[in-house]
Amino acid sequence: MSRSSRQIDLSPSKLRELADEDLMELVCNNEAAAFEVVMERHVNAAFSLAYRMIGRRALAEDVVQEALLSLWRGGARYDRSRGSVRNWILGITHHRAVDSLRRDALRTARNVSDDDLHERLEAPEQTEVEVVRRDEAKEVRTALDALPAEQVRVIELAYFGGFTHTEIAAMLGLPVGTVKGRMRLGLEKMRSRLSTSEAVT
Amino acid sequence: MSRSDQSPECEQREQAAAYALRALRHEEAESYREHLDGCARCRADVSSLQPVVDSLPVAVPRVVASQELRSRVMTTVRSEAELLHAAGAGADRPQSARPRWRSRRLQALTVAVAMGVGVLVGAVVLDTGSQGPASRVTPAQLGSLPAGAKAVLRQVGGHAELVVSGVSQPPSGKIYQLWLAREGSAPQATDALFGVNHSGNASVNVPGSLAGVHQVMVTAEPIGGSSHPTSTPIIVATLPSS
């Protein structure tokens, strides 16, 4: 079948009405305008994650650019049964950021440097989606804060720091088994907390 | 090391959280993935923890991505979309309203490539009209790829990209890697690793300089790439020596 997307109205306003999953089908047909809508929806979330992990704007932008282009080029590998487009984009971004952290010996300069303190916080939008998202963010933060500090520590070092469990064990002077145990306990506790508040489905 | 143990007391159970957090080393993650294929218990553990991990990004402070980043991404996306639409025109779609001279030349080019004509037919200079600098397009020779596969190397100014279509997915556990070969020396690894979309399309930026480069090649390599090619190239673009 050839390019059924041709029959679809691809004007920006129509595209913006489509769900991510439908836009991804157009992206598979190399429709740049559809990709732009997907990108606009998620680029801030992806950049926020990369920036939180890497702490430097230029490197974080490189990571997000790579992630977005790999989404564009490999859009077909998006499998809707495995979660939302947003999670998928954030997953690629996370993956790329971990690669970048492990590849470059950035570890010493990992914290947000003074140069970047002018970073603009995202302007609050009053859309329904944004309100839901902020509630969700609050729930996740609350669930994280409710964990014992030792569990938060290993989860953050792993997920945001890109460190492996053996690196974390060495860093904290703990047996690897203890580190893995804390990861599991922490995530399980968060899960039960989040599932009662239904932030995680 | 890949155990197919389905008992509730699987020894690998402690790996699930570290795996979901991507805190396993590359090789550990690989072998755990193999283990997951055979262990329903661990699969269930991972899928119950994964949503928690996926929720972590919402907790980070939200910062705004720059306009430059957006434009950079969209510039690449638009140029690739245009090229892929043009390259795919002869293959899967009737003529559209694209500038006719251009699609005809690209078609001639891609037909030549699809027929496996020679190693290269010299570079074709496409004048892109008022759209900026001329681009030079070099068709590539294809190894074992499905009929209809196409690959061209496109150079604009100092920048080059490899545009492919109709290329099969890399074998499971593999990814395509781009190499730069200079006369008389072993191919140099690049960090350009890529897959193709469901139409077999991809457009890959060639990292670094093409100065002195004789061939741009693609091989299938283990995820993560290799430092030396471990398989026969499926795509070889030989640059005109000028």
pLDDT in tens, A69-79: 888 877 656 66
- pLDDT value at residue A75: 61
If one compares B49 and A29, the residue with the highest pLDDT of the two is B49
Separation in Å, CA of A66 to nearest CA in chain B: 9
Residues B121 and B160 grouped into a single domain:
yes
Structural domain boundaries, residue B72: 67-238
Residues B75 and B110 grouped into a single domain:
yes
Residues B43 and B149 grouped into a single domain:
no
Q: How confident is the model at residue A65 (pLDDT cuts 50, 70, 90)?
A: very high
**Residue B1 belongs to a domain:** no
Residue ranges of chain A assigned to CATH 1.10.1740.10? 7-108
Structure tokens at B224: 């993560």
If one compares A115 and A167, the residue with the highest pLDDT of the two is A167
Range among A9-13, B75-79, B134-138 rated most confident = B75-79
- pLDDT value at residue A77: 63
**Is B44 within 8 Å of chain A by CB?**
no
Q: Is A200 within 8 Å of B51 when comparing Cβ atoms? A: yes
Mean pLDDT of A132-144: 84
- pLDDT value at residue B14: 87
**Is B92 within 8 Å of chain A by CB?**
yes
Q: Which residues on chain B are in Cβ contact (under 8 Å) with A183?
A: 17-18, 21, 23
* Tally of domains in chain B: 2
CATH code of the domain made up of A7-108: 1.10.1740.10
Residues B49 and B133 grouped into a single domain:
no
Q: How confident is the model at residue B118 (pLDDT cuts 50, 70, 90)?
A: very low
Per residue in A175-194, pLDDT tens? Answer: 999 999 999 999 999 999 98
Instruction: Tell me what percent of the residues of chain A surpass a pLDDT of 90.
Output: 44
**Number of inter-chain CB pairs under 8 A, A vs B:** 190
Q: Domain A126-201 classified CATH 3.40.50.150?
A: no
Q: How confident is the model at residue B143 (pLDDT cuts 50, 70, 90)?
A: confident
Residue in A closest to B96 by C-alpha: A6
**Is A80 within 8 Å of chain B by CB?**
no
Q: Is B16 within 8 Å of A184 when comparing Cβ atoms? A: yes
Q: Which residues on chain A are in Cβ contact (under 8 Å) with B175?
A: none
| CA geometry: angle B214, B217, B221, nearest 5 deg | 145
ipTM over 0.85: no
In whole angstroms, give the CA distance from residue A63 to residue A54.
Answer: 9
Instruction: Tell me what percent of the residues of chain B surpass a pLDDT of 90.
Output: 27
Mean pLDDT of B209-217: 88
**Residue B4 belongs to a domain:** no
Q: Which of A187, A192, A201 to mutate to test the interface with B (most CBs of B within 10 A)?
A: A187
* Residue indicated by tokens 């801030």: A44
Residues B127 and B182 grouped into a single domain:
yes
- Averaged pLDDT of chain B: 75
**Residue B201 belongs to a domain:** yes
Contacts of B214 (CB under 8 A, 6+ apart): B181, B182, B183, B238, B239, B241
DSSP secondary structure letter of residue B13: T
Residues B148 and B117 grouped into a single domain:
yes
Residues B217 and B141 grouped into a single domain:
yes
Nearest residue, CB atoms, B65 vs list A64, A90, A191: A64
Residues B29 and B83 grouped into a single domain:
no
Q: Which residues on chain B are in Cβ contact (under 8 Å) with A43?
A: 65, 69-70, 73
> Does residue A37 surpass a pLDDT of 50?
yes
**Residue B186 belongs to a domain:** yes
**Residue B211 belongs to a domain:** yes
Mean pLDDT of A86-115: 73
Residue ranges of chain A assigned to CATH 1.10.10.10? 126-201
CA B18 distance to own-chain centroid: 28
What is the distance between the terminal CA atoms of chain B, rounded to a whole angstrom? 52
DSSP secondary structure letter of residue B199: T
Least confident segment among A10-24, B83-97, B156-170: B83-97
In order of A10, A83, A128, B192, the CA distances from A30 in angstroms are: 12, 22, 30, 20
Instruction: Tell me what percent of the residues of chain B surpass a pLDDT of 70.
Output: 74
Mean pLDDT of A74-85: 68
Residue in B closest to A193 by C-alpha: B52
If one compares B97 and B42, the residue with the highest pLDDT of the two is B42
Strand locations in chain B (E): 124-126, 135-139, 141-142, 150-156, 159-165, 174-182, 188-194, 202-205, 213-222, 235-238
